[in-house]
Amino acid sequence: MRRISLKARRTAGCVALLLAMQGLASCGGGGGGTGFIGPVTTATTAGTTPAAPTAQDACAGISGMSIPASMIGKPTSGAIVQSATFVAADAKDNTNGEYCAVTGIIVPATAGAPTMEFQVNLPTQWNERALHMGGGGYDGTLVTGLGPYVSQPNGTPNALKQGYVTLGGDGGHKGAVFDGTFALNDEALLNYGQLSVKKVHDVAMAIIQKRYGAKPRRFYFIGGSQGGHEGLDAAARYAADYDGVIANYPAYNLSLLQQASLYVGRALYDNGGAGWINDNKRKLLVNAVYAACDSLDGLSDGIIGNIQACNAAFNINTVKATLRCPGGADAGDSCLSDAQINAIDKISSPYDLGFPIAGQQVFARWPLLEGGDFSFFGAGSALGFAPVPTSAATPPADALLYTIGAAHARYFVAKDPLLNPLTYDPANYKARLQELGGITEVTQQSLEAFRAKGGKLILTHGTTDGLISPHNTEDYYNLQVTQFGQPAVDSFIRFFMIPGFDHGSGRYNLGYDGLAVLSNWVENGQAPDTIASVDNNAADPAAARSRPMCRWPLWPRFTGAAGTESNASSYTCTAS
């Protein structure tokens, strides 16, 4: 593998010049006054034909490239390619074929704001398509585009290996997954909320045109969680740039979501932690849910498929009747106190903020009584380990949703790192929360332009997601039906709910060939109805069990014979 990169002094000089002269044409990368380096050629003598550049030469020609602010559709001070690395197909640990990895920074428009890191991977054998991959949590880590996209089946070739240009960014700042400190900076917050998608896309377009002399025929986006939010940004805010989007378990209404997340924490921790549920009690509740609901989909396999029937078979009244401690006081791990049952009731009921954010006031119930086990990504309790949270609000010691909501309240809303989340009242910050609704929410961003251009959107969510409620995505889908009507929605949106799937993990860890499904819909008109999926929990992809992904509100009922439980063909998508 040969690495070609800018020297440190060249990078520093470019940053200084770009900050000083917004719209700077070129900075040490060669080329003319446009900052867009022309095709690489080989020196020739008169009367001879120039030799075509090799892929390695073409990669080298991108090193040092500068992209002026005028080529980026949102405010910046331009962008700089810091390195262009040619990776041979047989390079150690490379499974993506021959490509050029291009990394760099987008310089902020305002002094003091952080830079935005990006990576664009350019395959030598290009299929004339590009895939933008989204981030997660509060971003802060570069999405390299070198690995699988969200929910890609294990053992299948990555998009880069298939010939797609792949790209990603860091959301416009650096930090841990739920580190909200960046939100104290207005430009960093705006980048996270909606602008980073556009900025990284436009920089990638300049690099793609430099390398291949052409634009992609198709541009796709796939992400999950915050990356799902970014996918909806791509479709709703930047419809002209994208042909197809997959938004998996999207955090599309961040401010309302995090108010609801903090509400979960308050349900557990208020009144000195009277409602807090320890790990043994959590397991007691989860086991009771599965005992009542697991078989309602035709098969007892640790996956609850028939949520509607489960709601009837096991609900808060069932909890009170079967799990309540005698007299209502806490009597140990074999029962639940009245305070704990009250906390469960709050968590498993819709949360009304009391005023709207971006037109939405009520956050849907969490699936605590529907199979969600509220574990920390499958390992240990996500409800914390003590009835009183730490002042730092840090998982896993403290409840996961509480820590995320606390970070949002402190850094996004109040801009006060010392704020006590247990005394925070969102009603006192109504104006700020509604302002944030215009920055971080996609709720009211219409998909009309995306629909009109022929764009296609696939939504997915898991029934047991304890980080973003699956019913929240139901609400988003229903908003689209209200706006467009069912026939129009069916023409460009497909929504799939996956039993047993949590937040990127779960008892059934979803794997499906989303990129193929999406491109077939966009390019060949093959609208997905029922999609084949596999369980990515399997150590051997060839031995993974399979299930159909059913279009919501359908779900997979087991209708096969004994011994065929692992075959998707043994399930029928049904509404009842």
Whether 465 is catalytic is yes
Distances in Å between the Cα of 396 and the Cα atoms of 182, 389, 414, 465, 552 are 22, 11, 24, 17, 33
- What are the φ and ψ backbone dihedral angles of 572, each rounded to 5 degrees? -120, 130
For 250, the 3-state DSSP assignment is coil
> Length of the chain in residues, anyone?
576
Q: Considering just the CA atoms, what is the radius of gyration of the chain in Å?
A: 25
Q: Which of 536, 543, 547 is nearest to 504 (CA)?
A: 536
Give the C-alpha separation, 92 to 318, whole Å: 57
Q: How many CA atoms lie within 13 Å of 144's alpha carbon, on the beta-carbon side?
A: 7
Cβ-count burial of 486 within 10 angstroms (0-12 exposed, 13-18 middle, 19+ buried)? Answer: exposed
Q: In sequence order, which ranges of 159-278 are alpha helices (DSSP H)? A: 186-190, 196-212, 226-236, 254-273
CB 129 within 8 A of CB 218: yes
Whether 503 is catalytic is yes
CA 131 to chain centre: 14
* pLDDT tens figures, 23-73: 333 333 333 322 222 333 333 445 556 667 899 999 999 999 999 999 999
Catalytic residue among 241, 243, 297, 465, which? 465
Catalytic residue among 243, 398, 503, 519, which? 503
Tokens of 466: 């304890």
CB 168 within 8 A of CB 203: no
Please, which residues bridge with residue 556 across strands? Answer: 573
Tokens of 160: 């880069």
Please, which residues bridge with residue 532 across strands? Answer: 548
Q: Please state, as a whole number, how many other Cβ atoms lie within 10 Å of the Cβ of residue 316.
A: 16
Catalytic residue among 225, 337, 533, 570, which? 225
Residues of the chain with confidence (pLDDT) below 70: 1-51, 378
Distances in Å between the Cα of 271 and the Cα atoms of 110, 133, 268, 326 are 44, 43, 9, 21
Give the C-alpha separation, 104 to 494, whole Å: 35
Distances in Å between the Cα of 143 and the Cα atoms of 73, 103, 125, 174, 223 are 21, 11, 22, 12, 11
Give the C-alpha separation, 517 to 153, whole Å: 13
Q: Please state, as a whole number, how many other Cβ atoms lie within 10 Å of the Cβ of residue 143.
A: 25
What is the crossing angle of helices 430-440 and 254-273, to 10°? 140
pTM: 0.91
Give the C-alpha separation, 357 to 338, whole Å: 32
Q: Please give the pLDDT value at position 377.
A: 73
* pLDDT tens figures, 139-162: 999 999 999 999 999 999 999 999
Q: Please give the pLDDT value at position 25.
A: 31
Q: How many CA atoms lie within 13 Å of 415's alpha carbon, on the beta-carbon side?
A: 8
Give the C-alpha separation, 473 to 87, whole Å: 40
What is the DSSP pairing of strand 546-549 with strand 531-535? Answer: antiparallel
Type of residue at 392:
A
Q: Which long-range contacts (CB under 8 A, 24 or more apart) does 563-571 make?
A: 565/299, 565/301, 568/532, 568/533, 571/547
